[in-house]
Structure 1
């Protein structure tokens, strides 16, 4: 801490925490000529080298802190419950050790400033940008400290920083009227001349908190964008309605179901994201062949990778063909991310149109990655929940996540029975007479989850009362899936096959019911309910879902 605060009695812990103000981002493309492009490339290279230097120092201090005796002693202190005196005393002890070692945001900002002033980087970066780079390195190391992320890696030369930002709009990177200013550069922004929904005009009327300069590679060429972090909430487009009410969602690796008091839907999660798995895999195999052909000394005769000697590293040679393949692979992942963001936005708008207060199970998306890796890579359910959380907050609501351990929606019935179902069982079939699509029924039960004395439970009485009105909504949602298929094959995770015609359809339905041991009367009851809405008879699939 600086000497300016040495005699103050007001400590940091005694100050009231600042409430987070709502913010949103407006992104605009920049008009950059070749000279400005070279200048920006040099500054981003300086930022990359400074980030690596600060990150190395942060990891060194973190290792020293963990090796200290004070740290080992603090780890033996009782943890206590959240908010208890023991927990606060333990946190205060760790905070004191961090300040003593110098592993704080302020200390690493000061280290970044000293590094910048001691070399050529000081000619290209300003003080505010330098301090933000120090903060970025500190947060990366802090995530590793708290085990919320892996050990951060240094950025190689071919993978420069993706963005740089300022601390405020007063100095360094700053937005002025219609352009971005940074150390003598004035970069004009490209506006949407039509702006049919008035989004840009509305955003530019609000104060800009700070700016972020973003570099993206589109089809092998660098493009520059400015992201204006603006105070307030973004403008809602007129085509996206908002309903004040409650809606519950059930998210799977490849499906999503949403149920409110007035409507429900079931659809494939991010259905319009292109399937690039074969293309990505083909590029990866070509990269591996090129890498092995240009570095035969790094592999054993059986094809396994050699282990380097202690203190040494393997030397790699990358051909121009390998570099082109790597750039192509990066472009494929960029396209996937762009399609995914668009689908997340559309789906979030559709959920908020049913209700601004969203009830959802608190899931472990890391477990999703371990079990359904490629599906989660393409659809990113965790990223969608974050997007939905921001959308719901701007609509005046929010996302309420409740634990699955006490609610057990996929196993429970409104009659009170709790039976564990295998993943291949896509229909909820209870002896009490309730039969519904599994994901839709879980979402319906999510509407009736409430908190009782700090414990989230399922209110079965409320679920029984509301079932009379909800049953038709769930059948209508299944009918919508059948109509949207239009003869195409649906994912097996729906538990519904695309309809066929006439006697062959009825024969397949009875055959599926006989093979799975289901009651044919119950199947006919569901089929007749959907026939009345869709005009065709679907097949109820009980096979293992293909995720």
Structure 2
């Protein structure tokens, strides 16, 4: 505690110290210790907001993407695009750890490769312990990268936004497996031992979006966006998802049509529109009740939205920023 007090006294602080603590962070070379000091008062506002007050921005979150639409700009971005690189490196090192543990502890495994039941003594080599430390460091770096990537994009949105409107998502529910056990509608041909084929209706996969949510953290970005908007005094609204389903609505007909997961584009008023961007467009044009879109302004602003969308897609294709399974291009 004396060390912390000495550090605080050596720094010229303009505000009163509320509390402080030591934080230990692990690196490949070992642990490093930092003093975290919390000061009294509000955090400084470092983002310069637009002088004209900005525009209303509609935000549509996906499990791995985010789409935003306002009157003067549209965005369609992959959340934390380099996070998958950390995941690949982590998987590689975990495979090396598993191989090492199996090599030096063969008595703890069954013949089929599973771990024997009960309590066991495990031998870990120096290399294995080093690999485990590297995995922990990679997880920390991945988490820090995701937070930094989210904050960079949020700061970009804050500069030209007067108010945020978005569709709240329960990502905690999306990351869980499905409880229903169902068979596929289409039968699959399975080859038997005698060479003949048998038509079988396989079970549907119960997995949902847990892996994607782990690597992208859309829920964290949704919480950070609300926190930042509150800090800068920007109004933040959420539509009523029980009465207004922006991902299914067609404003030209007023009908709710549920699309399939693979359907990334829709045809609205004779124009082909990207599904996520169109949802953000409808959210942006929500009426004051937050339960339905303002159909009049939707019809007026739709041609301008289509032009901005086409320009964005063309620019992304030129730069090679494509994501076929999420963007549709």
Q: TM-score, normalised by structure 1?
A: 0.49
Give me the whole-angstrom Cα distance separating, in 2, the residues matched to 1:271 and 1:467: 34
Please show how residues 20-419 of structure 1 align to structure 2 within 5 Å.
Answer: 180-181=4-5, 186-187=6-7, 204-237=13-46, 241=50, 243=53, 245-273=55-83, 275-308=85-118, 313-370=119-176, 371-414=208-251, 415-419=253-257
Give me the whole-angstrom Cα distance separating, in 2, the residues matched to 1:250 and 1:285: 37
Residues 245 and 479 of structure 1: is their aligned pair in 2 closer, same or farther, counting only changes over 3 Å?
closer
Deviation at 1:377?
2.2
Give me the whole-angstrom Cα distance separating, in 1, the residues matched to 2:10 and 2:60: 40
Deviation at 1:287?
1.0
Unpaired segments ≥5 residues, structure 1: 1-172, 192-200, 497-547
Deviation at 1:241?
4.6
**1:404 aligns to what SS in structure 2?**
coil
Give me the whole-angstrom Cα distance separating, in 2, the residues matched to 1:470 and 1:229: 47
Give me the whole-angstrom Cα distance separating, in 2, the residues matched to 1:322 and 1:356: 53
Deviation at 1:364?
1.7
Deviation at 1:476?
1.6
Give me the whole-angstrom Cα distance separating, in 1, the residues matched to 2:303 and 2:258: 22
Give me the whole-angstrom Cα distance separating, in 2, the residues matched to 1:213 and 1:322: 29
Conserved 8 A contact 2:69-2:75: yes
Conserved 8 A contact 1:356-1:395: no
Partner of 2:320: 488
Deviation at 1:434?
5.5
Residues 448 and 276 of structure 1: is their aligned pair in 2 closer, same or farther, counting only changes over 3 Å?
same
**1:407 aligns to what SS in structure 2?**
coil
Conserved 8 A contact 2:74-2:312: no
Residues 240 and 299 of structure 1: is their aligned pair in 2 closer, same or farther, counting only changes over 3 Å?
farther
Larger RCO (CA within 8 A; separation ≥ 6): 2
Give me the whole-angstrom Cα distance separating, in 1, the residues matched to 2:10 and 2:305: 46
Larger Rg: 1
Give me the whole-angstrom Cα distance separating, in 1, the residues matched to 2:9 and 2:87: 36
Give me the whole-angstrom Cα distance separating, in 1, the residues matched to 2:153 and 2:10: 28
Conserved 8 A contact 1:344-1:384: yes
> What is the Cα-based RMSD across aligned positions, in Å?
2.8
The number of residues matched between the two structures is 295
Give me the whole-angstrom Cα distance separating, in 1, the residues matched to 2:54 and 2:321: 36
Residues 450 and 207 of structure 1: is their aligned pair in 2 closer, same or farther, counting only changes over 3 Å?
farther
Q: TM-score, normalised by structure 2?
A: 0.79
Deviation at 1:469?
2.6
Q: What's the CA shift string for 1:400-439, capped at 9, x where partnerless?
A: 3334332111111113111010011111224x54542111
Find the partner of 1:476 among 289, 292, 308. Answer: 308
Residues 445 and 282 of structure 1: is their aligned pair in 2 closer, same or farther, counting only changes over 3 Å?
same
Partner of 1:458: 292
**2:249 aligns to what SS in structure 1?**
coil
Find the partner of 2:262 among 383, 400, 424. Answer: 424
Unpaired segments ≥5 residues, structure 2: 177-207
Deviation at 1:272?
4.7
Give me the whole-angstrom Cα distance separating, in 2, the residues matched to 1:332 and 1:394: 31
Conserved 8 A contact 2:101-2:124: yes
Residues 233 and 406 of structure 1: is their aligned pair in 2 closer, same or farther, counting only changes over 3 Å?
same
Partner of 1:441: 278
Deviation at 1:450?
4.9
Deviation at 1:355?
1.7
Residues 298 and 464 of structure 1: is their aligned pair in 2 closer, same or farther, counting only changes over 3 Å?
farther
